[in-house]
Chains A and B, each alone.
Chain A
């Protein structure tokens, strides 16, 4: 079931980027970063497109996508909740945060919530150990020294933000 059609206009942006970096060697990972930025995830049809455009075997592209945890073949929530599982966060209760987020949002793994707003991801050390335990929402919103009872409020903040937009 291809979810992204061949005629999707976003391919144009991706192709432009590929043309820009074509001259350089070893750019597959960079191109996949760009593709994921554009599409939000890397379904098989996007991978095939990249393979064809870069003249790389489809199996190589698939191999790279599945090797690196940053790449995902499934869509993620609009707000990705990244719960840090680094050592400092772990000894300061990161696991409990993860459990509470799952409970509050009613999800088991990294699938998005029904409304598509959130998905939860366990991530490797974010390097913000001095504020452990930390949660990163999206790319920039750091929440430091989080305790489980702060979580409903944090989630609400984003729900409100969305509500306002509508």
Chain B
């Protein structure tokens, strides 16, 4: 019997976490029960990108996109769609107003505005199946490269204008050329899959959804620079990526597409996995090299650069996952094609991980030069619950926050740097009016201070000092002089720290000071947190006009600070309250309010 339907199920990280596996097992059971096993093909794919809609299933040939599935929904799809040919409209995605019902993935704005190069196979092929990778032109670039000279490959990558996607944006072709020309009997390729920036999951999705593209990219890099050995350095937090990479490596070896005499030529290349152990600084290239060697991951002074002296003291190319995933497509479609996408100095596309206060959290790939507004509002679907956009954070702990007035900025390496942030690896965390920008700055600084390896003083001591000041400010104990002090410390650390971690750690503070200085001043001068988020500066109060006396808040309060009888107005004892916010979350009548603690004290005094 021939296949009548193909069903794609997203097996990306988010979908798995929201129960994809049980949906799939019910689906398979139902197919078996209805004798549809031969006419319906079920394929698990990598991340489709629309992570907040998971678990997701697409049924072809109709191309119907079913979302937020529960295990029992799989039964409905089998009975209605597969057997009766009726679309199950209750499982379709609703438009922003909840009315319009697009059927196909190709009709959702989230997908139509994207251009997929690095993520071309995500949500399309089965990451466990090398044949499907080959079917979508996989390993053809490797074959082409092996027939050409390494110099041609480097020239092609240089002409494409590809720049590193791991953060710094260094031209990839140049990096390869330096490494090729560096003297050394042995050379190495390292894939940086440490993806440490909080709020970033692009690399994870590529590794899990299309591991062969990274392997092929590494082999091409190896051929170009004259190397026979590669390492993939993956963080231990990504067990699924490790599993799929291991599987892909052994498949490629079995096919003779990795290992000795690849594609029956005299080129040999081998790949080993190295698992990180939870140190952010290991994403920095010199620290990463230490860690690959099994040592403490502390950065070392550059120069010498890894291109001259890398792992085991040999010339080494280090490239990010996404950078490598672009390589096969550039070789297949040509440098000119790639260079025709993007802006003058930033070519191609960039994958972003959208998260935070945004409707369509997930993975998106767009041409360089796409505006922030388009990414956040058209693709990302804007801010939930009718709240106002306040800022978007890019570049993780090395980046900064961009306020609303710059939403029309076309995103590329240069434009973001001009705004005081960086492209970084592609995390975009959206913040709304409830997010306190001082607290965000404090959060990132805490992160950098914790992750500082301690080797150089400016980073180790400087970030601590800055953190102390920020801690004071969010507690309402800051002074105006503190702001000058912060700036001075920030600039000193930027200039004197040993590695990129320290040099960029002050960016979140500098950018928020630049765009949200009024919030800092409100904390210091008025002891108010404008976003009503800093615990020390707010209090919870019950609005007597809104409270219906349902007792939900009193029940949930962990410290018994709320009193009141059924159907009577409740009250919070401010002395006992620990400001956990449980009452605020549980109240269905919006009767629990966050207020500025300073106002409360005034009231009490006046009484």
Chains A and B share a contact (CB less than 8 Å): yes
| Interface residues in chain A, defined as those with a beta carbon under 8 Å from any beta carbon in chain B | 24-30, 32-33, 60, 63-64, 67-71, 85-88, 90-93, 96, 99-100, 103, 123-132, 134, 139-140, 142, 144, 147-149
- Tell me the bound Cα distance from A128 to B444 in angstroms: 18
Question: A91 touches which one: B52, B293, B356, B581 (CB < 8 A)?
Answer: B356
Out of B357, B393, B443, B580, which one reaches A96, CB within 8 Å? B580
Give the Cβ gap from B509 to chain A, nearest Cβ, in Å.
Answer: 15
Which residue of A69, A86, A88, A134 contacts B278 across the interface (Cβ within 8 Å)? A69
B556 with A87: CB separation less than 8 A: no
| Bitwise interface map of B from 47 to 65 toward A, beta carbon under 8 Å scored 1, else 0 | 0000110000000000000
Chain A residues with Cβ below 8 Å from B453 are 67
Q: Does B144 contact A (CB under 8 A)?
A: no
Which of B197, B279, B356, B581 has the most chain A CB within a 10 Å cutoff?
A: B356
Q: How far is the CA of A124 from the CA of B7 in the complex (A)?
A: 35
Is the beta-carbon distance between B443 and A90 smaller than 8 angstroms? yes
Contact assessment for A86 and B556 in the assembled complex, using a CB-CB cutoff below 8 Å: no
B431 near A91 (CB under 8 angstroms)? Answer: yes
**Known pairs A33-B275, A128-B14; A91 contacts B435 (CB<8 A):** yes
B294 touches A27 (CB 8 A): yes
Q: Known contacts A33-B236, A127-B238, A128-B17; decide if A69 and B277 are in contact (CB<8 Å).
A: yes
Asked if B293 contacts A25 (CB within 8 A), the reply is: yes
The answer to whether B435 and A131 touch across the interface, beta carbons within 8 angstroms, is no
* A149–B356 CB distance below 8 A: no
Q: Contacts of B195 on A, CB cut-off 8 Å? A: 127
Contacts of B294 in A (CB 8 A): 25-30, 64
Within 8 A of A (CB), among B165-202: 195-201
Instruction: Write out the residue numbers on chain B whose beta carbons fall within 8 Å of the beta carbon of A129.
Output: 199-201, 353, 355-356, 361, 427, 429
**B 207-241 contacts with A by CB, 8 A:** 236-239
A148 touches B277 (CB 8 A): no
Q: Which residues of A contact B161 (CB under 8 A)?
A: none
CA of A48 to CA of B261, assembled, Å: 42
A48 smallest CB distance to B (angstroms): 17
Is A88 a contact of B237 with CB atoms below 8 Å? no
Quick check: A64 and B295 within 8 Å, CB to CB? yes
- B396 is contacted by which of A29, A63, A87, A132 (Cβ under 8 Å)? A87
Say whether B296 contacts A26, CB under 8 Å.
Answer: no
- Place the interface of chain B in its size category: 35 or more
**Most central of A33, A90, A93, A148 by chain B CB within 10 Å:** A90
Which A residues touch B435, using CB under 8 A? 91
> Are the C-beta atoms of B429 and A91 separated by less than 8 Å?
yes
Answer yes or no: B26 CB below 8 A from chain A CBs. no
- Which B residues lie within 8 Å of A148 (CB)? 580-582, 585
In-complex Cβ contact of A134 among B17, B558, B581, B582 (8 A): B17
**Complex Cα–Cα for A28 and B295 (A):** 7
A92 to chain B, nearest CB (A): 7
Residues in A with CB closer than 8 Å to B440 are 91
Please name the residue on chain A nearest to B582 by beta carbon: A148
Residues of A within 8 A of B16 (CB): 142
Q: Most chain-A CB neighbours within 10 Å: which of B199, B272, B279, B444?
A: B199
In the docked arrangement, what's the CA distance between A27 and B292, Å?
Answer: 8
Assess the B17–A144 pair: CB atoms within 8 A. Answer: yes
Interface 1/0s, chain B 62-98, versus A by CB < 8 A? Answer: 0000000000000000000000000000000000000
Bound Cα distance from A32 to B274, whole angstroms = 12
Q: Say yes or no: B13 contacts A29, CB within 8 Å.
A: no
**Most central of A33, A124, A129, A140 by chain B CB within 10 Å:** A129
Complex contact A125–B199 (CB within 8 A): yes
Q: How far is the CB of A132 from chain B (nearest CB, A)?
A: 6
Shortest distance in angstroms between A82's beta carbon and chain B's nearest beta carbon? 9
In the complex formed, the residue of A with least CB distance to B195 is A127
Query: Is A60 in contact with B356, judged by CB distance below 8 angstroms?
Result: no
Closest to B204 in A: A127
Query: Which listed residue (A93, A123, A124, A144) contacts B196, Cβ 8 A?
Result: A124
B306 in the interface, Cβ–Cβ < 8 Å? no
Contact of A139 among B239, B357, B580 (CB under 8 A): B239
- For window 263-277 of B, CB contacts with A under 8 Å fall at 272, 274-277
Looking at the assembled complex, report how far the CB atom of B220 sits from the nearest CB atom of chain A, in whole angstroms: 24
Contacts of A126 in B (CB 8 A): 237
Given A88-B361, A130-B52, A144-B18, 13 other A-B residues pairs in contact with their CB atoms under 8 A: A24-B272, A29-B291, A64-B296, A69-B277, A69-B278, A87-B355, A87-B427, A90-B443, A124-B278, A129-B429, A130-B362, A132-B356, A142-B18
24 A-B pairs whose Cβ atoms sit less than 8 Å apart in the complex: A25-B294, A26-B293, A28-B294, A29-B277, A33-B236, A60-B295, A69-B279, A87-B356, A87-B393, A88-B356, A90-B443, A91-B429, A100-B558, A127-B13, A127-B200, A128-B13, A128-B14, A129-B201, A129-B353, A130-B52, A139-B239, A140-B239, A148-B582, A149-B582
Judged by a CB distance under 8 angstroms, whether B280 is at the interface is yes
For the complex formed, measure the closest distance between the CB of B46 and the CB atoms of chain A, giving whole angstroms.
14
Is B297 interfacial (CB 8 A cutoff)?
yes
Q: In the complex the two chains form, is A29's CB within 8 Å of B275's CB? A: yes
Whether A88 contacts B199 by the Cβ 8 Å rule is yes
> In the complex, what residue of chain B is closest to A56 when comparing beta carbons?
B294
Select B274's contact among A30, A68, A99, A139, beta carbons within 8 Å: A30
B446 — nearest CB in chain A belongs to which residue? A85
CB <8 Å contact, B236 and A70: yes
Interchain CB contact (< 8 A) of A99 among B312, B431, B580: B580
| Chain B nearest CB, measured from A24 CB (Å) | 7
With a CB–CB cut-off of 8 A, which chain A residues contact B236? 33, 70
Mark B435-461 against chain A: 1 for CB-CB distance below 8 A, else 0: 100001001100000000100000000
Is B586 in contact with chain A by the CB < 8 A criterion? Answer: yes
Question: In the assembled complex, how far is the CB of residue A69 from the closest CB belonging to chain B, in whole angstroms?
Answer: 4
Most buried by A among B280, B355, B356: B355
Instruction: Enumerate chain A residues within 8 angstroms of B356, measured Cβ to Cβ.
Output: 87-88, 91-92, 129, 132
A130, B355: Cβ atoms closer than 8 Å: yes
How near does chain B come to A89, taking the closest CB pair, in angstroms? 8
Contact A68 B14 (CB under 8 A): no
